[in-house]
Amino acid sequence: MRELIKNGSSLLFRRQTNILSAAFVIMATYAAAHLIGLLKTRLLISVFFGDKANLLDVYYAAFVIPDTLFQLLVIGSLSAAFIPVFSRLLTKKEDEAWYVAGVSLNLVLVSFTILSILIFIFAPWLSRLIAPGFDSHQISTMTSLLRVMLTAQIFFCISGFLTGIIQSHQRFLIPALAPIVYNLGIILGTIFLTPFFGIFGPAIGVVIGAALHMSIQLPLAFRLGFRFIPAFSFTHAGIREIVHLMPPRALALGIDQIEQFIAVILSSLLPSGSLTMFNVARLLYALPMSLFGVTIGQAALPALSRLSGEADRKTFRRTLLDSLLQITFFTLPTSVLFIVLRVPIVRIVFGAKSFPWSATILTGKILAILCISATFASLMQLLIRAFYALHDTKTPLLIGIFSAIFDVILGIFLVKFLNLGSVGLALAISLTAIIETILLFSIIFPKIRSDNWTTARFIISFLKITITGLITGLSLWVPMRLLDKFVFDTTRTLPLVALTAITSLIGFSVYLLLSYFFRVEQLKTFILLVKRMSDIKQTLLPQSKEALMVSASDQN
């Protein structure tokens, strides 16, 4: 047991030295985090959906402003500004890197405190602004929830910087575990505090989860060398560079958050439960994007940042294009699966008694429309980070502004004028993601000076994966229809689970088989991931087995 704990500790603190290794670590823990997140959402639905659906809508609406504040101040400074600068300083001047980290955190915390006080004071007016369809009682509840959730962002500010520091050292497991404990905090609040505080139970759970999100990362950050520094400075070159890079990225994220605000504004004008169903569908839609787009993008950013400084961009180009193909290979079949099996998946994951059949059908439609763009949205995660690695934050900002304007106009037109409701909102988001990704790719491709052979190889590989994914969709739809009609009584849970599992197995088997016949190179990546899972078992178990053998020989 001692050896098992020792090896497990080594695995937690181990450095991931290549993109595949890092992406796998983040991917595995993100999968666990999403599963717990789905459990959390099902629990919320079982408690509040139905006659309390309006309260659950308010709960989700209250998230928007605190989340926007976090996105602007922390994510904006980290992904585009802090990580590239900090990573570069680590390889040259480590002491300066830690100084820049401490000062940057202090500046963000001060900025956050000032903005939080203003939001706390003006919370009632802000709530009415973003949820015009809510009644006075909902606005009052939303105001109180918003103020509670602001507290959580203090922990997230610190935790976000710890994540950037740890990932810059190419250690990805601990930061990837943080969302798991965050969701556990909300689950604990929902189970134990809801009987006493109602909808405020999960809101307090958000604060608990945020504190856990920070706490789990502190030991490794201190182990790597991080210390809180009581200093403020704008004179250091690294700080000036971060301050210079941060505003365009913060604005770009602010533009992206417009989508969230529009969803709340329009959903508040729709029937009760509309915002909840939309968020439930988005949670499933985000699964392939988070597992593959975000993970590979996060893992690739430090490597792309280092390669961006090289005079020869050949390695940067190859790394970027290969990563784009890997994202496509993993995301496309998952998206197709969600489109074809949308209703069974929604019923299995969120099929609480309080979630009626009509809500299941509508959520399934929203999910299918969103998943049409899931691969594009996943590719966008990497493309944006590639621009940041090239120290270009203005291009994603300009494209983001155009996309936000397009999304707002199209969303209002589809929801209000064509009366498509939440389905129209999903369609606007999906079309916007596709257009934005195409624009980003068309602009960055000339920047990396790709030769004709590399371009042709990329296009051929992309077409192979796309064709394989489309055929996989047919291989999912046919057995699903046959099993539903002739084999399983899908009005019951266990047969529904069996249908979904068998159909998914058939579909993924066809996808892998076609990838082999079409000689899709990214299949090798999948095989390496499977081998890496085996390597982790070997990392944890061999020494403990030897210890057991020694123990047995001693007894003999």
Calpha distance 481→486 (Å, rounded): 9
Place of tokens 């006493």: 196
Three-class DSSP category at 308: coil
Calpha distance 266→531 (Å, rounded): 47
Calpha distance 171→16 (Å, rounded): 6
What torsion, rounded to 10 degrees, do the Cα atoms 33, 34, 36, 39 define?
170
Residue 429, φ and ψ in degrees, nearest 5: -65, -40
Calpha distance 495→484 (Å, rounded): 9
pLDDT of residue 362: 94
Which residues lie closer than 8 Å to 196 by C-beta, 6 or more apart? none
Q: How far is CA 71 from CA 95, 246, 371, in A?
A: 28, 12, 23
pLDDT tens digit sequence for 294-313: 777 767 766 776 776 655 56
Residues 445, 458 contacting (CB under 8 angstroms): no
What is the chain's length?
556
pLDDT of residue 492: 80
Calpha distance 31→180 (Å, rounded): 9
pLDDT of residue 5: 41
- What is the DSSP secondary structure assignment for residue 274, as one 8-state letter? H
pLDDT tens digit sequence for 99-148: 888 888 888 888 888 988 999 999 999 999 999 999 999 999 999 999 99
* Three state DSSP letters for 152-187: HHHHHHHHHHHHHHHHHCCCCHHHHHHHHHHHHHHH
User: Residue type at 243?
Assistant: V
Residue 63, φ and ψ in degrees, nearest 5: -70, -25
pLDDT of residue 94: 82
Q: Per-residue pLDDT for the chain (556 aa), expressed as one digit of tens each?
A: 454 344 444 545 555 545 555 566 667 777 788 888 889 999 998 888 766 778 899 999 998 998 888 777 776 656 567 877 888 888 777 888 888 888 888 888 888 889 889 999 999 999 999 999 999 999 999 999 999 999 998 898 899 888 888 877 877 778 878 889 999 999 999 999 999 999 999 999 999 999 999 999 999 999 888 888 887 877 888 888 888 877 776 777 777 788 888 889 999 989 888 999 999 999 899 888 877 777 777 677 667 767 766 555 677 888 888 889 989 998 999 999 999 999 999 998 887 677 888 899 999 999 999 999 999 999 998 898 888 788 787 888 889 889 999 999 999 999 989 999 999 999 999 999 999 999 999 998 887 766 677 778 888 999 999 999 999 999 999 999 999 888 888 778 888 889 999 999 999 999 999 999 998 888 887 787 666 655 554 444 444 333 333 333 343 4
Calpha distance 289→327 (Å, rounded): 9
Reference 517, options 474, 480, 476, 471; nearest CA is 471
Q: How far is CA 199 from CA 61, 167, 194, 196, in A?
A: 13, 35, 6, 9
pLDDT of residue 545: 37
Tokens representing 249? Answer: 């990225």
